[in-house]
Chain A
Amino acid sequence: MTDLDPHRHDRPGRPDRPGRLVAEAVRVSFSAATSGAPPTIALDALSVDVAGGEVVALIGPNGCGKSTFLRVAAGLLRPDHGRVVLDGVPVTAPDPRIGLVFQEPRLLPWRSVADNVTYPLELAGWPRERRAVRLAELLHVVGLEWAAALRPVQLSGGMRQRAAIARAMALAPEVLLLDEPFSALDALSRERFNLELLRLQERTATTVVIVTHSIPEAILVADRVLVLSPRPGRVVAEVRIDAPRPRLIEALDQAFVSRAAAEIRSHLELGEQVA
């Protein structure tokens, strides 16, 4: 049974499912470039509780520290205060249980798509045969079998980001963190790739935290949308998206979508006023 098996976790929906990511009162500040000036506080007392297998979207104005939060959650950045805990174990360094997808695909240009996707496995010391087996699964899941031998420059932007997602899934993480993964794509492709991401999430029951600045994107993918305030970032509101899963674009009721969008927007504006 692999992580790509839909019944990987026997008790779906239970709060003790693996992949629960909790951020407790996270505070991050950056020392100012000029000495004497006060440090910039990027995040302040940010607390988030994401259940195992849940999809949470973080939305907020530019510079509210969304990406900073993902860096903390991925163990790339140590918070000044607070901590991030995954399934009871604090995340203090990059962790194989967490997969990270950046805003840009960040593929190694001199490697083929296949070698990019298996890069984490190579670093983790997997033998070649095992890598090949896993590669076939991953490429199948993101529909890139045909591109295995291609180089990143031969792919479109969306395809590259797909390869990056396959790479982030390589070590079968419990949590997938995505930092505005499709922001470089046009609106139509974006919708398509978001739906793909959902199919992937439904198949693997991976916990997903996606950072976005698009309200429709947040409503389309998330179970819960967390609205962040401008810097320093804090959660100012939580909007539940009670739409059925697997989520289909046709099944999303337009009245419901506009209501959710209006609610998120009001919180976004409120957050700006407060700051």
Chain B
Amino acid sequence: MTGDPVLTGAGIGARDGGAVTPFVPAPPAPLTARLGRVVAEVWPTAASFVAFILVWKLVIAIGTLPAFILPAPELVAQRFVSAWLDGTIPPHAWTTFVEVVLGFAVGAGAGLVAGYALARSRLIERLLSPYLVAAQAVPILALAPLLALWFGPGLLAKVIICGLIVFFPVAVSTMVGIRSIDRGLLELAAALRATRRQVLTTIEIPWALPAILGGLRVGVTLAVVGAIVGEWAGADKGLGVLVNLARGSLFDIPLLFATLATIALLGIACYLVVVLVERRVVGLR
């Protein structure tokens, strides 16, 4: 209560003198300072990566593992670069990337709508939730061959498999987010004669956004899993196919590792995109 203006009874004017420091946006920092911040943020990640490579190298050095079980990190790195440059990985990576993006979009879109409906209607919740949970309880790995059979070896089956696996976390987090809305704010909106649509855009979405973005974070990494599983169930292209090729007919174990690294990088990239979006839209709170 320190900042309250003192009132002398002469009228409420701008007698502020607030002790709450006015918020002044920081001026853009010089380049070196910004670089310093980036370094400060990134170094733990970089250090853990270096440690990971060192442990890997150590296992190679002290163990007597044959190269087809665990190739040395430099061998994998070399193969990673060559496979990207000679056109072995790029077409497969592109196929998987498209499946992930479309599958995520479809699954997340459906999850948002379903989560909202589940939160707003007890009836819909009772009708749908058994199927939702059942669909989630059956491993996608077991479901994928059936979906591949139904929808063919093309893109469609993968998008559906991807979408299914993304759907659940997004739907649940949306439902939880919308359910947790402060009823007082809804009453405020009612007193101000807000329309259904205005309630959605000015209260429900902003309120639920942090929860929804949490669900999207989980969903986007699962989308990569869904794409690979879908490819295993039947495909002629994609990183999942390449894993099988490298292990089987090609028997190129460094390529297998390079493909795994590509899958991991794809997952990390997708995750980072969601995190950046999250920082932009809710970072200000």
Contacts and interface: CB of A to CB of B under 8 A. Distances in A.
A157 B18 CA distance: 13
B192 A159 contact: no
Contacts of A69: none
B23 A150 contact: yes
Interface residues of B, number: 37
A103 to B, nearest CB: 9
| Chain A, interface SS category | loop
Given A154-B20, A156-B1, A189-B4, A119 B192 contact: yes
Nearest to B25: A149
A48 interface: no
B22 A110 contact: no
B204 to A, nearest CB: 12
A77 B125 CA distance: 28
A1 B194 CA distance: 27
A195 B202 contact: no
A140 to B, nearest CB: 6
A222 to B, nearest CB: 17
A241 interface: no
A32 interface: no
B3 interface: yes
B22 A156 contact: no
Interface in B33-50: none
A261 interface: no
B203 to A, nearest CB: 7
Contact of A150 (B5, B22, B202): B22
B139 interface: no
A122 B18 CA distance: 28
Interface string B83-102: 00000000000000000000
Interface residues of A, number: 48
Contacts of B198: 123
B4 A156 contact: yes
Contacts of B7: 192, 195-196, 199
A151 B190 contact: no
Contacts of B20: 147, 150, 154-156, 159
Contacts of A74: 191
A156 B188 contact: no
B285 A76 contact: no
Contacts of A151: 23, 285
Contacts of B23: 149-151, 154
A186 interface: yes
A110 B15 contact: no
A249 interface: yes
Interface string B180-193: 00101101111111
A86 to B, nearest CB: 14
Interface of B: 1-7, 9, 11-16, 18, 20, 22-23, 182, 184-185, 187-195, 198, 202-203, 206, 282, 284-285
Given A189-B1, A192-B4, 10 more contacts: A75-B191, A96-B193, A108-B185, A123-B195, A143-B5, A143-B13, A146-B22, A156-B4, A192-B7, A249-B9
Nearest 8 pairs of A and B residues by beta carbon? A199-B12, A146-B16, A196-B12, A120-B192, A248-B9, A106-B188, A106-B184, A100-B191
